Amino acid sequence: MNLIVQKFGGTSVANVERIRNVAQIITDTYERGNDVIAVVSAQGDTTDDLIKKAAEITSKPSSREMDVLLSTGEQISMSLLAMAIEELGYPVISLSGWQAGFLTEATHGNARIKKINTERLQNELDKKNIVIVAGFQGINRYDDITTLGRGGSDTSAVAIAAALKADKCEIYTDVDGVYTTDPRIVPNAHKLDEITYDEMLELATCGANVLHNRSVEMAKKYSVKLEVRSSINSDVPGTEVKEVCKVEKMLIKGVAMDNDVARISVLEVPNQPGIAFKLFSALAAEKVNVDIILQSVGRNGTKDISFTVSTAHKQQALKVSEEFKEIVGAKEIVFKDNVSKVSIVGAGMLSNPGVAAKMFEALGESNINISMISTSEIKISVLIDQDQAKRAVNVIHDAFAL
């Protein structure tokens, strides 16, 4: 008897026909003698629509009430899916996040899972029920509903798979698997049979929203067997995400694009020790996550410091930078939010020199200017103008013959 955790994203449960299709996938898995827990997202654009509804009432909703509101999207899906499974004549029960035992940090909007009390889930499995769980949500120590951040249902699924030591976690979505880049941007992107946790984590963190990055982090930590596959072409094998892949010649595995970026530059900062610490500790104190950092060499006693943040943090980052400018006597703040980060990822670059040069050559030949660069062991990211980002992804994808 195997335990399979399956997760179905928003498009996969968007309407009656799609819900019936998902009910069939789940009951087929159950018929094959498996225990099944299915995690669902809100239908279609429901989460975005709920955010719009809140904005019609207030420009400053409390984060607690936003979580109460957003958690309802997943609860609609879970009950409709359970009804579709009842219709097919199978024993099923739906559980919201707290009923399924999800305990999270106190923070609203982007809470991390602390623990899953698996008792209820296990009881339902023991009763031979198919269990449907609302993704993206839990409860904190004050018994308040929390959500896990956009795309967080993937993490709910992997967390259940880890907590119950499931034999497999299948993420069903609207593409056939993980591609060399977003197939909606590059039509000739191709599907990967497998990818390492590390590569997938970098791609997801760099904007490939096919998996929530925390779900990949958790899958790696608890060695969860993960597969991304299509709920529409459900008999086509997807992409396995695992610790090691077959040795292959590919220099890089994929290209990702992230438009959720803003750049701030503080110009002519006094060139003294401790200056960078002052700025970045003030940003950290405001819980602003900084991504790429670039500092120029000092000239005439001053230097420039530039950094990027997600657009959600831009107001706080600007406020901190203005205060810093006044305190240290810097000259000017330059802000830009129509920028994108384009990244290449692949373990192949560890042992192959010239990967960065090849990326920069492709951009240079297409007249795309790079304003910042950052690298890690298996990733190179560049910051460019947003209106050139899709073209950049295409030319880089071509250059590496992916």
Residues binding ligand ASP (CB under 6 A)? 9-10, 41-42, 47, 73, 135-136, 150-153
- Cβ proximity to ligand ADP, 108 vs 191, nearer residue: 191
Q: Are strands 239-242 and 226-230 parallel, antiparallel or unpaired?
A: antiparallel
B/e letters for 192-217, b = 16+ CB within 10 Å, e = fewer, are bebbbbbbbbbbbbbbbebbbbbbbb
> Any contact of residue 178 with ligand ADP (CB under 6 A)?
yes
Looking at beta carbons only, is 50 or 250 nearer to Mg ion?
50
Beta carbon of residue 129, minimum distance to ligand ADP (angstroms, whole number): 24
Measured from the CB atom, the residue of 220 and 314 that comes closer to ligand ADP is 220
**Complete edge-to-edge strand list for the sheet that includes strand 372-376:** 290-295, 302-309, 254-270, 332-345, 379-385, 372-376
140 binds, among ligand ASP, ligand ADP, Mg ion, none (CB under 5 to 8 A by kind): none
Query: 150 contacts which partner out of Mg ion, ligand ASP, ligand ADP, none, CB within 5 to 8 A by kind?
Result: ligand ASP
Choose among Mg ion, ligand ASP, ligand ADP, none what residue 210 binds, the Cβ cut-off being 5 to 8 Å by kind.
ligand ADP
Does 210 sit near ligand ADP (CB under 6 A)? Answer: yes
- CB contact at 8 A, 226 and 5: no
Q: Which stretch binds ligand ADP (CB under 6 A): 170-178, 282-290, 357-365, 392-400?
A: 170-178
Residues whose CB falls within 8 Å of the CB of residue 177, separated by 6 or more in sequence, listed in order: 191, 192, 228, 229, 230, 237, 238, 239
Is 209 one of the binding residues for ligand ADP (CB under 6 A)? yes
**Of the residues 29, 41, 147, 381, which one makes contact with ligand ADP according to CB under 6 A:** 41
Give me the least distance between CB of 254 and ligand ADP, in Å please: 5
CB of residue 165 to Mg ion, shortest distance in Å: 24
Least Å distance between CB 154 and ligand ADP?
Answer: 6
Task: Please report how close the Cβ of residue 268 comes to Mg ion at its closest, in angstroms.
Answer: 43
Distance CA 172, CA 238 (A): 9
Own/partner contacts of 383-389, CB < 8 Å, gap of 24 or more, are 383/261, 383/263, 383/292, 383/308, 383/339, 383/340, 383/341, 384/339, 384/340, 384/342, 385/338, 385/339, 385/340, 386/259, 386/338, 386/339, 386/340, 387/338, 388/340, 389/257, 389/259, 389/340, 389/342
Q: Judged by CB under 6 A, does residue 175 bind ligand ADP?
A: yes
Return residues touching ligand ADP (CB under 6 A): 9-12, 41, 151, 173-175, 178-179, 181-184, 208-210, 254
